[in-house]
Amino acid sequence: MRSAHLTQGPPVVLVAHGSRDPRAAEATRALARAVAAVRPGATVLPSWLDHTDPGPTVVLRELAAAGHRRAVLVPLLLTAAYHRRVDIPAAVAAAAEGGPSIEVRIADVLGPADGAVDGALLAGLRRRLAEAAPDGYDALVLAAAGTRDPRARGSVGRVAAALGTELGVPCRVSYASAAPPAAGVAVAKLRARGARRVAVAAYFLAPGLFHDAVRAAARDAGAVAVAAPLTDAPDLADLVLRRATHPTPAPAR
């Protein structure tokens, strides 16, 4: 834990979903380091809802014990589904039970906030696509983890539409779980409609089994490239920091 004598605003606590795959936890730590590098002197701490310690409740209690009276919690989530609506508020409430008090502001998720797709999120997706497919593509699939929440799926659809508009190519959504279509199916449909070079944009914050499965299925279906997850992309670090300090999303560029 860093010193309580800070001049760079309240500590920022990043809250990731968590995974049994150790690559996911390392990606979250890398993103925390990237955010801290953007704002030197700030306290930026990772936490996880499951599988990896510490959890956000523990981090908030430790901050309070160190003398902090305020903190900002940034959900490392791309949709405002169950974890944002239930798990994260419950973790904050638990931190307030006993011990020193700390005022916690929960920021928006990294996906569309109030219907707006942040320009930095699109820039991160474009960055990873450029790395994976330097020779270009004529159609895209935006591969997401998946959710049964129709509002969350709607937000993924808005990202796909914005990304396709920016890049001037058709962009379809796919899901690794919970909802159709799967990545391989989406790639195959675009190819059946005449696309010759289909690439996959990974709407994931970290590597793991879902991204591995998407990559394998998309390649089997004929995709020319599958982008890496966003992880610690500079654009994502910028977005995290602005979620922590400014509630209004930046317009898409």
- Give SS3 for 63: helix
150 and 91, same structural domain?
A: no
CA distance 12 to 204: 21
Q: Are 27 and 205 within 8 A, CB to CB?
A: yes
CA distance 29 to 47: 9
Name the pTM for this structure.
0.90
Q: Are 95 and 166 within 8 A, CB to CB?
A: no
- In-domain check, residue 26: yes
Exposed, middle or buried: residue 237 (CB in 10 Å: 0-12, 13-18, 19+)?
Answer: buried
* Strands of the 225-226 sheet, one edge to the other: 171-175, 139-144, 198-203, 225-226
Tokens coding 77: 């989530």
CA distance 178 to 77: 16
Query: Over the chain (253 residues), what is each successive 10-residue block's mean pLDDT?
Result: 52 94 96 94 94 96 94 93 76 86 93 90 98 97 92 94 98 94 98 98 96 97 98 97 70 37
153 and 96, same structural domain?
A: no
124 and 105, same structural domain?
A: no
Tokens coding 38: 């953007």
pLDDT value at position 97? 85
CA distance 125 to 128: 5
- In-domain check, residue 3: no
192 and 127, same structural domain?
A: yes
- In-domain check, residue 159: yes
104 and 137, same structural domain?
A: no
pLDDT value at position 63? 96
- In-domain check, residue 79: yes
Tokens coding 46: 């990772």
Report the 3 state secondary structure along 11-38. CEEEEECCCCCHHHHHHHHHHHHHHHHH
CATH of the domain at 90: 3.40.50.1400
CA distance 152 to 158: 10
Tokens coding 142: 């935006």
pLDDT value at position 252? 39
Q: Are 104 and 73 within 8 A, CB to CB?
A: yes
Distances, alpha carbon 3 to alpha carbons 13, 39, 63, 66, 224, in Å: 15, 16, 9, 7, 48
Counted domains in the chain: 2
80 and 171, same structural domain?
A: no
125 and 102, same structural domain?
A: no
128 and 187, same structural domain?
A: yes
170 and 78, same structural domain?
A: no
pLDDT value at position 82? 63
Which residue range forms the structural domain that includes residue 188?
119-226
